[in-house]
Amino acid sequence: MDITRRRLLVLLPAAAVAWKYVLAGTPEASPNYKLTDHWWGMLLDITKCIGCGTCVRACAEENDVPDGYYRTWVERYHVTDWHIERPEVESPDGGKHGYLHEAAEGGKNFFVPKLCNHCVESPCTQVCPVGATFITPDGVVLVDKTYCLGCRYCIQACPYGCRSLNPKTKTAEKCSLCYHRITKGLTTACCEVCPTGARQLADLKDPKDPIHEFLRTHSIQVLKPYMATGAKVFYNGMDGSVR
């Protein structure tokens, strides 16, 4: 087909209208889910974590996370006596296959699962130049893949190292708190499979959620509180050496 001037003038507006529909996106998938009724976070109980890596494997499978990249991972800490400021931390393959080798002797050893803290004042959202990263009205920090430029500002900004650049799409990659699951009434993949209940999804706006009772009755910490990020991943039984 020859492209004449006349034809091009007809095609261009048609393409523009079509593009607009592409950008408009699909409507929300969960009709009964109300954005304003929830405020999501997570509870991580260090005293229960056995470092089996089931969460890491489940996350990779649920979210098609490429090999060598992690949206959640498990670290093993080794802290010798008074060297609280110099812990030895290891996380071979993100702890994906569990820790079958014994930890170093002396001092104390424990596991720390990590993931995006879904901060209320999230630094990654603040630095995004195009509005590709945002916090939803129900408190989850997400990435809009179609908007992300791949500039990596957010990766530098995250104080928790929770972001990476997807090697295929070249867009920012992060934990979505299994947004496609929690909006359907399911829990996240990592919380679903955690065999000891060390990870628990929490809806802070739900008065019936057991998280409220737990937060009241336990000594709770968040990672790097001095960064004032408003982290919503709460840790129970966390040692002061955890960075």
Partner 1 sequence: MKRFKDTEHLIRLAAVMVIAVIAFVVLRTALVPRSFGEYGHYRGAAIGETAARPVAFAGHQTCEACHTDVVDVKKQGKHVVVACEACHGAQAKHAEDPGSVQPKKLDTAVVCARCHEANSAKPSGFPQVVTADHAGGLACDSCHKPHRPKIETETEVKK
The contact pattern for partner 1, residues 103-142, with x = CB under 8 A and - = no contact, is x-x---xxx-------------------xxxxxxx----x
Q: Which two tokens stand for residue 210?
A: 């057991």
In the complex, the smallest distance separating the C-beta of residue 53 from partner 1, rounded to whole angstroms, is 7
| x/- track of binding to partner 1 for residues 163-182 (CB under 8 A) | -------------x--xxx-
Residue 8 contacts partner 1 per CB under 8 A? no
Please state the length of the chain.
Answer: 243
What minimum distance in Å lies between the beta carbon of 127 and partner 1?
12
**Nearest distance from C-beta of residue 106 to partner 1, angstroms:** 10
- The structure tokens 């720390």 sit at 112
Instruction: Measure CA 75 to chain center.
Output: 16
Residue ranges in 201-230 that form contacts with partner 1 under rule CB under 8 A = none
Q: Which of 117, 175, 167 is nearest to 142 (CA)?
A: 175
Based on the shown chain and the rule CB under 8 A, indicate whether residue 156 belongs to the binding site for partner 1. no
29 binds partner 1 (CB under 8 A): yes
- The CB-of-139 to partner 1 minimum distance in angstroms stands at 12
61 touches partner 1 (CB under 8 A): yes
Applying CB under 8 A, which residues contact partner 1? 16, 19-20, 23-30, 33, 35, 47-54, 57-58, 61-62, 76-78, 97-100, 102-103, 105, 109-111, 131-137, 142, 144, 146-147, 176, 179-181, 183-184, 186-187, 189, 192-197
